[in-house]
Amino acid sequence: MGKSEKTNPYLAHLLEDNHIESSSLNKYTGKPYSEKYYELLKVRKALPIYDKREEFLQLVKESKVVVLVGDTGSGKTTQVPQFFLEEGHLEKNKMIVCTQPRRVAAMSVSQRVADELDVPLGEAVGYTIRFEDVTSPKTILKYATDGMLLREAMSDPQLSRYSLIILDEAHERTLATDILMGILKTVVRQREDLKLVIMSATLDAGKFQDYFSRDPEHPLTVPLINVPGRVYPVEVYYTPEPEKDYLEAAIRTVIQIHANEPLGDILLFLTGEEEIEETCKRLNHDIPLLVKDSKPFRILPLYSSLPPNAQQRVFEPPPSNGRKIIVATNIAETSLTIDGVVYVIDPGFSKQKIYDPRVRVESLLVSPISKASAKQRAGRAGRTRPGKCFRLFTEQTFKKDLIETTYPEILRSNLANVVLTLKKLGVDDLVHFDFMDPPAPETLMRALELLNYLGALDDEGELTQLGKLMAEFPLDPQLSKMLIVSPQFQCSNEILSIVAMLSVPNCFLRPRDAQKKADAAKARFTHSEGDHLTLLNVYYAYKHNEEDPNWCYQNYLNYRSLKSADNVRSQLEAMMNKLSLPLVSTDFQSAEFYVNIRKALVNGFFMQVAHLESNGYYLTVKDNQVVSLHPSHGLDHKPTWVVYNEFVLTSRKYIRTVTEIKGEWLLEYASHYYELANFPVGEAKRDLEKLTIKNKKPRKQK
DNA sequence: GAGCACTGC
């Protein structure tokens, strides 16, 4: 047992450091440290952040909020919480939490820190992500997704379990991190026993400092600490003239690098799946033709909807004496890191979400990236040795045209869910809420209006009983409303399945080389009254076929999607039980089985309804947008009224996932929205008026 | 008659 102590060469040296346990027993487990602990300790002490340890601890002692800037490789994510622990700053029964924008990061970082502390994961160190809580009463350091900490705040707005909250990767400005910053700015001033550390890659540091210090009544001094990263230099090249066609330029650049530059993998950033698959095909065809005596190469596409085994291939070693050429979306900018990349090709574009509050539509648009993004992409070339980055735009463009940082998500999103969350967190005055970047007032108004129509907020903007329930669910407000009322329509089991299916990526596969077969497979599940009902059929069939991946494959269904829908469904079912919402079904033989489901749909989605006009097009109610049924629909006729799940703006305006409803139901379940006095003149209004008269007659006769 | 940047609860 004592062997490792005596023979360990690092031990004597360690004992000189007063902040490292001078006893050879691990204070968390009571056991002697393992060999691995000392090995990892040596690595830890070589991290750049280690030199800033005393400075950091001093600043945290003096200040409530500290901003820490550190590039990749500085070690901040793993070491900063440990500094705090070692110093014994943690109060009894309190914890440290460190947020991450992504689940995998929360999981892998917590495992690393558990190893460094020589403790089993889930005891002193753990993580919490959706569907998985690997913590215990012993846990004092927890890594969590930012969304998960936000959920916790909803039941404990002071986040009173924690005495240190670290928001990591704050520069990414996710919705959840932005909301957390907004509430923590107040909480940190209210709670004597709370410290806050904001960790970021260089760019926005000053902005975080300003934001947290600024307050008319309680200004704070927010110090900033800078930690160098550990990356290799990357030489950046620009094109002398702007490129007309970035795809052609990209292909040309790949070929030039492959022909002329020493070995080392190539990473090309493109915007989407189709573009990537096309380019891979072109490269496979062109390289052997254009490169004399080409070295071996392997072209690898990389995007999120690619099956996991195909994604994994980018991590395999390159062909012997050759190179990998990876053609990726933004997934390779932050989510996945591929060592061995030496050359980055950056055309300077990505698909970005934008929200237009006027038409209430979120859409994806190919847009120029920001300077910060371009720098991040370039950095991908310097992970293992010095690299090169080829920007397919001019230096002038970089300096003059690109914006500094990508607009935070909160400025590009529909905020219905954000507003519901903030209300639940007790924020009364949303218009004056201190957002780091305040969203457009119109976007907030749209969100308030939607929540008011759904009955989540009353006319004073107060959260209603229904709204409180809705906020409990990790769903868009329309979906949670529909789910909560579904027991009244005797179909909560079915709506649970539909909501789960709507919450995951599209489950229907349609490979380019088997489109007919895929369509035929889909036809077997199709319900002619609506796509929502088709989704229900698919879910049933998946369960009846014992969740078999092969069955999914044969039926052109995405197994990953269905499995995840099933997960979501279980989570929602548990919440329904917790909230005493009964799980009920209408008898399947009854004529009302599908009618009830469609009525429940109307209760959540009455604002997403389209009316068939005499010219054969659909017009969305109130917004009066001319739309077409998305070609993926399964209706066998064109119903007068449909609800839709999504408004898709591509080559045309489409409504996707549509189900037939009756006009009467709109008047019955959403009379406040369909009040005819405030309804825009048109065919939809005339149809509704006819229905009103028809409805009133029998009543008068009674 | 067509798509699906990326995350997260």
Residues A437-449 pLDDT 10s: 999 999 999 999 9
Q: Above 60 in pLDDT, residue A495?
A: yes
**Phi, psi at A123, each rounded to 5°:** -100, -100
Nucleotides of B under 7 A from a protein CB: 1-9
Tell me the pLDDT tens digit for each residue of A49-101. Answer: 999 999 999 999 999 999 999 887 788 999 999 999 988 777 788 999 999 99
pLDDT tens, position by position, A345-381: 999 999 998 888 887 888 888 899 999 999 999 999 9
Confidence of residue A12 (pLDDT cuts 50, 70, 90): very low
Name the closest residue (CA) to the C1' of nucleotide B4: A273
**pLDDT value, residue A16:** 45
Q: Residue A117 class from Cβ within 10 Å (0-12 exposed, 13-18 middle, 19+ buried)?
A: buried
Name residues whose C-beta falls within 8 Å of residue A529's C-beta, 6 or more positions apart in sequence.
A594, A598, A635, A659, A660
- Average of pLDDT values for A324-352? 92
Nearest Cα to Cα of residue A178 among A494, A375, A519, A408:
A408
Nucleotide nearest residue A130, measured CA to C1': B9
pLDDT of A695 strictly over 50:
yes
Per-residue pLDDT, averaged over A2-9, amounts to 39
Which domains does chain A carry?
A: 9-227 (3.40.50.300), 234-409 (3.40.50.300), 414-472 (1.10.10.2130), 475-601 (no CATH), 607-697 (no CATH)
The confidence band for A698, taking pLDDT boundaries of 50, 70 and 90, is low
pLDDT surpasses 90 at A552? yes
What is the CA A702 to C1' B6 distance in angstroms? 59
Residue A386: CA count within 13 A, CB half-sphere: 4
- Name the more confident of A529 and A361: A529
Which residue's CA is nearest to the C1' of nucleotide B9?
A: A474
Nucleotide nearest to A648 (CA to C1'): B3
A612 pLDDT exceeds 50? yes
Q: Where does the pLDDT of residue A507 fall: very low under 50, low under 70, confident under 90, or very high at 90 and above? A: very high
With contact defined as beta carbons under 8 Å apart, do A501 and A565 qualify? Answer: yes
Res A109 pLDDT > 90 = yes
In angstroms, the CA A294 to CA A298 distance is 12
Mean pLDDT of A616-627: 91
A651, pLDDT greater than 90: no
Distances (CA, A) of A455 to A420, A424, A577: 12, 14, 22
Nearest partner of A140 among A108, A171, A158, A164, judged by Cα: A164
The confidence score (pLDDT) of residue A89 equals 72
Beta bridge partners of A612: A618
Protein A308 CA to nucleic acid B4 C1', in Å?
16
Position A514 scores a pLDDT of 85
Percent pLDDT > 70 in chain A is 96
Q: Which nucleotide is nearest to A506 (CA to C1')?
A: B4
Query: Which of the residue ranges A29-33, A484-488, A661-665 would you say has the lowest mean pLDDT?
Result: A29-33
The tokens describing A472, both together, are 């409990």
Residue A416 has pLDDT above 60, yes or no: yes
Q: Identify nearest nucleotide to residue A512 by CA to C1′ distance.
A: B3
Over residues A413-439, the mean pLDDT reads 92
Token pair recorded at residue A299: 């072209």
DSSP bridge pairs for A627: A618
Q: Which nucleotide is nearest to A104 (CA to C1')?
A: B7
Mean pLDDT (whole number) for A260-266 = 96
Smallest CA–C1' distance to B5, residue: A351
Q: What is the pLDDT, as a whole number, of residue A454?
A: 96
Whose structure tokens read 């704070």? Answer: A220
Q: Nearest CA to the C1' of B6 belongs to which residue? A: A331
Protein CA at A313 to nucleotide C1' at B6, angstroms: 20
The helix (run of H) or strand (run of E) holding residue A225 is strand A224-227
Interatomic CA distance for residues A234 and A394, integer angstroms: 17
Please give the pLDDT value at position A697.
Answer: 56
Q: What is the mean pLDDT of residues A683-700?
A: 78
Q: Which of A402, A404, A439, A397 is nearest to A418 (CA)?
A: A439
CA atoms within 13 A on the CB side of A43: 14
Q: What is the pLDDT of residue A641?
A: 96
Q: Which pLDDT does position A7 carry in this prediction?
A: 38
Rounded to the nearest integer, the mean pLDDT of chain A is 90
CB A163 within 8 A of CB A94: yes
Task: Give the pLDDT score at A23.
Answer: 59
Question: Which nucleotide C1' is nearest A328 CA?
Answer: B5
CA/C1' separation A168–B7 (Å): 15
Query: What pLDDT, on the 0 to 100 scale, is given for residue A477?
Result: 95
Question: What pLDDT sits at residue A119?
Answer: 94
Smallest CA–C1' distance to B2, residue: A631
Q: Please determine, for residue A600, whether its predicted confidence score (pLDDT) is greater than 80.
A: yes
Q: Is A655 helix (H, G, I), strand (E, B) or coil?
A: strand
Q: Is the pLDDT of residue A699 over 60?
A: no
Looking at residue A73, what is its pLDDT? 79
- Model confidence, pTM: 0.91
Distance A102 CA to B7 C1' (A): 7
- Using one digit for the tens of pLDDT, what is the confidence trace for A285-324? 999 999 988 999 999 999 988 888 888 899 999 999 999 9
The whole-angstrom separation of Cα A263 and Cα A669 is: 66
Structure tokens at A689: 């008026």
Mean pLDDT value of segment A482-488? 97
